[in-house]
Structure 1
């Protein structure tokens, strides 16, 4: 049944060297990835980076030009979408407008000729799981955006897929509802222990729901890790900037460390000149000099409610509870443990 837990960490989905070209455009450039069984994995990147194409290759809606898709050790690369143990929740939900909520959820099971008793049992379980029991007789045009999203999820989950693919399913929701649905989705995945793969361009959404995140750019997978790993230890400039706000600090090797506009730090980068990344909330801001601090001048201040965001000179972006004003002199300390050496 739908509620059966699976063991996280055993062999799940494996992508090997996937390539895909549409005309002259190479959309995927040899992407390899392992998604563990029972994991919530997110493909994160800007529009046009190839994340949706990668999802469509997993779902069987596209065929790769090269590479393989393996699920539980089985090569499914050439298997059509309707024969794969995979279901997709699309951005527009793709509900049948002429069918009620109950009929929408039951459609896949009935098309596969399940006995009506089993159809009813599975549908009722899925509707209960997603708190849709009171909406069974409504049609899609009578539902809110969040309700439509839950119906689409129920319709996918009722088929008990090994992998559930989510193609930006929350992009049409307003900010408050999106945050609520993110929590619901994460809780649902944990209860089921199923494998969810989400595609999104929203880094806050990816951080909120994921066990691991894969950051994509221009058809390549740049970095894979837990939300904390990719946020705190980005490998490249693109990853540092795409996952939130990052200070990119120019640095050059000198005297066994690196020299920056804010002092010398005991780091050993592989380059002579390059960039360090530092998150704004990691910068210490003081009104008086402290050991290891450097003077800076406040150029601009933006009120963010829980904190102030200040832009300093030499160039640095900080988040602080201190009440600062443009033109004010402050003293900043860059904690060496927060500085990240970028590969490029």
Structure 2
């Protein structure tokens, strides 16, 4: 494939790392701020036995993947993992993001490789890698992924630029389409935006060149660059409201601490919910017969209001719900 796929890339999922619970098999330890506001779908142990997940399925077809490392995995194996590193067991917060494609993975991989070869400054992607996991019900899930090219750390720019996923089994096996599982107490339907904070102008310029080649020219202001992605399912009530990738330069001490030595960080993931549905009493909380202590209250569900869920001791880089 020498030309860009005809269909725009859709936001497939985001990776949020959590500690591991003490369950067998391992599962992420879900904080109350998440369990009180979202419907959780069991995931499973990945084929490499190094990570396990739980899913937050969204009505727009994307999902949040809550991931933990397997406590039984060796330290050396975790250190070599693409989300690992020397302190991989301690990883917390937003870690990566994925775009979906329905073109054959060989064609997608060839096109991604051509971007780096033909465009100076654009980051490169590696060859496709097969992946999979077994669901708790025994169903096997298979896919192929294309990751950004590694550097001498083994991770490169993972999280700064996306990886890609192509399903080998039906997508509905990996991402079930279920009205119950995609209905959440806080009312979210999909992702409105996520922010990539970068530490210097050089990274900012390379991100701009790479995203221009991937998804088209973004909208630039004095403080940010904004790129629009597609949704897997467009008819969700969020039409025209993202999902956007917002690229910002770290300009203060807090931002610079966030990007650290790595030079970038994923922060402030904002999900969209319809204020009218909560005001009308159509939310899942009311159907279940009562609010939970960590749940968003009715007086917060005002159009234009943005509510942060991961505050206090559960700061994962910014998990927000915005009512539209």
What TM-score range do you get, normalising by the shorter chain?
under 0.3
**Which protein, 1 or 2, shows the higher relative CO under an 8 Å CA cutoff with sep ≥ 6?**
2
**Bigger helix fraction:** 1
**Normalising by structure 2, what TM-score?**
0.26
- Asked which structure has the greater CA Rg, the reply is 1
